[in-house]
């Protein structure tokens, strides 16, 4: 048990903040965890499950905190930063867990007073669930946590934050803000939008009933529905704030799709076969890198009915 930060303030109490609190508690990484959220119900659940203390406002929560974690949707970060700025303890570390970094740096950066260390961050971990009951201590195990420290960041502050994240099981990497936003547009934002779109197409079909789509979803469709069940507010903000990179990737996606669509129309089997063979190699790389399970069908097992019934 090594206390890395004496007092930690969590602003926003959803999946990520809850998982951080569970992970910190499991290993005694903080002496006190203070939390706040807009909803009184969320605060009450967090107080019961993982916070030592909750406050009604973010301004109160950050008082005396050695680490402040902004864990609200990206679009809400600027207002929170303005609210907490006058109350931050000198020498404190402020980080965030937003999926977009450029917009957060623009919105939060200007409010951070001298003597406070702002180190933007992005835990690349999550599930399709959200809210104060969805967190768990092992969420960050073996997952990447990207940090985008601005030039001139205090090395001691960075090392301390890194120590906390690594103690929670994460692998930490640092990256330039613009590159981060492009990388996540490819590996996360575009795939989510495409999944949402495919589910939307199915929802709008008239000649195929929704019952049929649900019944026969195991043929591929259901894989898309998992990420299309993610938190709508968080994802709205992601797309609005990482607009340029997302539109860039979607443009490439459409081009690529049109080429395959044309190959189908023209009956160009060689093109399709070559394309489908190359994409297999990427899957192999992901499994070898330990970033997914090699078990067939994600190891979902043979009887999802039982899983659904909680058996």
The interface with its own copies within residues 170-199 (CB under 8 A) comprises: 179, 182-184, 186-199
Specify whether the CB–CB gap between 5 and 67 falls below 8 A. Answer: yes
**201 binds its own copies, rule: CB under 8 A:** yes
Q: How far is CA 47 from the centre of its chain?
A: 23
Per-residue binding letters, 224-243, with its own copies (x by CB under 8 A): xxxxxxx-xx-xxx-xx--x
- The nearer residue to its own copies, 135 or 149, going by C-beta atoms, is 135
Specify whether the CB–CB gap between 138 and 96 falls below 8 A. Answer: no
| Placement of tokens 């980080």 in the chain | 95
**286 binds its own copies, rule: CB under 8 A:** yes
Residues within window 69-108 making contact with its own copies, judged by CB under 8 A: 75
Angle subtended at Cα 241 by Cα 222 and Cα 114, rounded to the nearest 5 degrees: 130
- The nearer residue to its own copies, 156 or 178, going by C-beta atoms, is 178
- The rounded distance, in Å, linking the Cα atoms of 62 and 224 is 39
Specify whether the CB–CB gap between 239 and 246 falls below 8 A. Answer: yes
- The nearer residue to its own copies, 66 or 231, going by C-beta atoms, is 231
Residue of the chain from 56, 57, 141, 156 that contacts its own copies (CB under 8 A): 141
Q: How many residues bind its own copies (CB under 8 A)?
A: 120
- The nearer residue to its own copies, 115 or 273, going by C-beta atoms, is 273
Residues within window 108-137 making contact with its own copies, judged by CB under 8 A: 124-129, 134
Name the token pair of 299: 């190891």
- The nearer residue to its own copies, 38 or 86, going by C-beta atoms, is 38
CB of 62 to its own copies, least distance (A): 27
| Placement of tokens 């990206």 in the chain | 74
Specify whether the CB–CB gap between 80 and 61 falls below 8 A. Answer: no
**304 binds its own copies, rule: CB under 8 A:** yes
**295 binds its own copies, rule: CB under 8 A:** yes
Specify whether the CB–CB gap between 93 and 121 falls below 8 A. Answer: no
């Amino acid at each position: 048990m090594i206390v890395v930060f004496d007092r930690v303030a969590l602003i926003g109490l959803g999946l990520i903040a809850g998982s951080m609190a569970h992970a910190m508690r499991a290993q005694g990484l903080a002496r006190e965890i203070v939390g706040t959220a807009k909803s009184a119900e969320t605060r009450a659940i967090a107080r019961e499950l993982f916070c030592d203390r909750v406050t009604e406002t973010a301004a109160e929560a950050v008082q005396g905190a050695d680490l402040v974690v902004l864990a609200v949707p990206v679009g809400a970060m600027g207002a929170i930063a303005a609210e907490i700025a006058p109350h931050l303890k000198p020498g404190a570390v402020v980080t965030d867990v937003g999926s977009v970094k450029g917009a957060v740096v623009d919105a939060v950066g200007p409010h951070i007073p001298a003597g406070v260390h702002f180190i933007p961050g992005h835990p690349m971990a999550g599930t399709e669930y959200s809210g104060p009951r969805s967190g768990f201590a092992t969420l960050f195990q073996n997952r990447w946590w990207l940090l985008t420290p601005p030039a001139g960041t205090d090395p001691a502050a960075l090392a301390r934050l890194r120590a906390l994240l690594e103690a929670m099981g994460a692998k930490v990497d640092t990256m330039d803000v613009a590159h981060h936003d492009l990388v996540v547009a490819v590996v996360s934002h575009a795939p989510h939008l495409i999944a949402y779109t495919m589910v939307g197409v199915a929802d709008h079909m008239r000649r195929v009933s929704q019952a049929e789509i649900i019944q026969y979803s195991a043929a591929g469709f259901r894989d898309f529905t998992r990420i299309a069940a993610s938190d709508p507010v968080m994802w709205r903000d992601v797309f609005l704030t990482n607009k340029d990179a997302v539109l860039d990737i979607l443009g490439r996606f459409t081009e690529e799709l049109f080429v395959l669509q044309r190959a189908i129309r023209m009956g160009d089997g060689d093109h399709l076969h070559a394309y489908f063979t190359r994409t297999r190699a990427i899957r192999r790389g992901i499994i070898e890198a330990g970033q997914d399970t090699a078990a067939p069908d994600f190891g979902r097992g043979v009887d999802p009915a039982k899983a659904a019934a909680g058996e």
